[in-house]
Structure 1
Amino acid sequence: MSLPPPGHSLIDDAQGIAFGSFMAAVSVVLLTHLGFVTGQTAGLAILISYATGWAFGPVFFIINLPFYWLGWRRFGPVFVAKSFAAVAILSVLAVILPRYLHFGDTHPAVGALLVGCLTGVGLIALFRHGSSLGGIGIVGLYIQDATGFRAGWVQMIFDAALFLVALTLRDPVTVGWSFLGAVVLNLTIAVNHRKDRYIA
C-alpha cells in the first residue's frame, strides 16, 4: 500500500504564495495599463479605482477584509492566514510594481491573453498552496452550503454584474477584450488545476 504524498513545507507554501501573488500583481499592472476590467473582488477594486482615482492596492486590501470571517468559518484559520498574506502581498506589489514595470503599445488581444494566463498561473499557485485572493468564491461556497445554489453560479452572476457596470466606465470594445481575458483565465484554471491529478 503506497503512502500518501508529503504535503507542502512552510518554505514551499511561502514560495508558492509569493510567486502566485507576484504573477497576479504583474497581471494587474498590465490589465490597468490596458484599461481592462476583470471579475471577482479584484474586478470590483479595479472598477472603484477607475471611478474614484484611488489606488488599486489599498482598495483591494480593504474590500477583502469582510471575507476573512467567512473564510475562517468555512476553511479554517490556516486558509485565512495564507489568503491574508496573498492579498497583502498583491496589494503592496500593485503599488510598488508600476514604478519599475512599464508596458508600451500592446495589442488588446495579446494583452487579454497575457492577463488571463498570468492571473491563471498565479491563482493556480495560490490554490495549490491552500491560499486564495479572497472574496466572492468564499461567499459562493457559503451560499452553496446554506441553499444548495452552486458556488460557480454565484461567481458568474457577480462577474456578469461587474461587467455590466464596467460598460458605464469603459467602452464596449475594451470590455469585450476584458471578457476574453476572463475566459482565458478560467480556461487556464479549469484545464490545469484538478484535484484528482495534482497530489503534492
Structure 2
Amino acid sequence: MAETPHHTLFEDTQGLLVGSALCGFGIHILASAGLVTGQTAGLAVLLSYATGLSFGAIFFVINLPFYWLAYRHLGRAFTVKTFAAVVLVSGFAEFAARLVQIMPAHPAVAAVLFGTVTGAGLLAIFRHRASLGGVGILAFYLQERMGWRAGWVQLGFDLVLFACALALLAPDKVLWSLLGAVILNTIIGINHRRDRYIAT
C-alpha cells in the first residue's frame, strides 16, 4: 500500500497564508455590506456589530476555548496550525478594513463574493489540516471521526446563528447573509472530501 503523502512545511505555510488572506478579505467584503456569516466568525461579526469592538480581537478571543478540543482529539500539529490560521485571519481582516475600501453594488454581490472567496480560503486551510477554530474544529473532527461532511455540519450551525441574527439585523440582510453561507459551505461540502484529498 502506498504511503499517504505529506505536505512539507513550505506547502503548509503557503497554504495557510493564502487561505487566511482570502478568508480575511472575504470577511471584509461581508462587513462592508453589513452582512453576517456563520460559524465562530459569524458570532464574532455579530458581536462586533453589537459592541463596536473590532472583529479581529473578538474572533481571536472566542476561539480560545476550542483549542482544547483540537489538541485532545486532533493533535498538536492541527492545533498549532489552527491557532496560526486564526491569528492570520484576524490580522488580514484588520488590515483589509484599514487599507481597502469596498462599496458593493448590492448585498447579493457581497454575499456571492464572500461565499466564493472565503470558501476557497477555507478549502485551502482545511486541506492543510487546520481550521478557523470554533465550529470549524468541531466540523473537522466530525468529518475525520464520523465521516460527516464538514460543510454540511457548518451549514446546520449557521442556520441557528442566522435565526439569532434577526434580533440585530434587518430580515433582508439576514437572507443575503444566508446566501453567502450557503455558497461557502456548498464549496466546502463538495470539494473537501477525505476519500479524494488524502495528503496530510
SS in 1 for 2:184: helix
* Aligned mates of 1:45, 1:107 — CA distance in 2: 23
Could you say which structure has the larger radius of gyration? 1
How far is the alpha carbon of 1:47 from its aligned partner? 0.5
The one-letter code sitting in structure 2 at the alignment partner of 1:198 is Y
* Aligned mates of 1:112, 1:80 — CA distance in 2: 30
How far is the alpha carbon of 1:23 from its aligned partner? 0.3
Q: Is contact 2:26-2:118 (8 Å) kept? A: yes
| TM-score of the pair, normalised by structure 2 | 0.89
The percent identity for this pair of structures is 52
The one-letter code sitting in structure 2 at the alignment partner of 1:181 is G
SS in 2 for 1:169: coil
Farther-moved stretch of structure 1 (133-142 vs 57-66): 133-142
Partner of 1:22: 21
* Aligned mates of 1:176, 1:13 — CA distance in 2: 35
CA change 1:63–1:151 in 2 (3 A) is: farther
* Aligned mates of 1:195, 1:156 — CA distance in 2: 18
CA change 1:88–1:198 in 2 (3 A) is: same
Farther-moved stretch of structure 1 (186-195 vs 70-79): 186-195
Q: Is contact 2:16-2:125 (8 Å) kept? A: yes
Task: Provide the aligned length of Structure 1 versus Structure 2.
Answer: 197
| TM-score of the pair, normalised by structure 1 | 0.89
Deviations 1:136-178 (A, max 9, x none): 2434677999xx9x79786455323311221111100010000
Matches within 5 A, 1:109-124: 109-124=108-123
* Aligned mates of 2:17, 2:56 — CA distance in 1: 16
Partner of 1:185: 184
Partner of 2:89: 90
Q: Is contact 1:18-1:89 (8 Å) kept? A: yes
CA change 1:23–1:137 in 2 (3 A) is: closer
How far is the alpha carbon of 1:190 from its aligned partner? 1.7
User: Please, which runs of 5 or more residues in structure 2 have no aligned partner?
Assistant: none
Farther-moved stretch of structure 1 (102-111 vs 27-36): 102-111
Partner of 1:4: 3
User: Please, which runs of 5 or more residues in structure 1 have no aligned partner?
Assistant: none
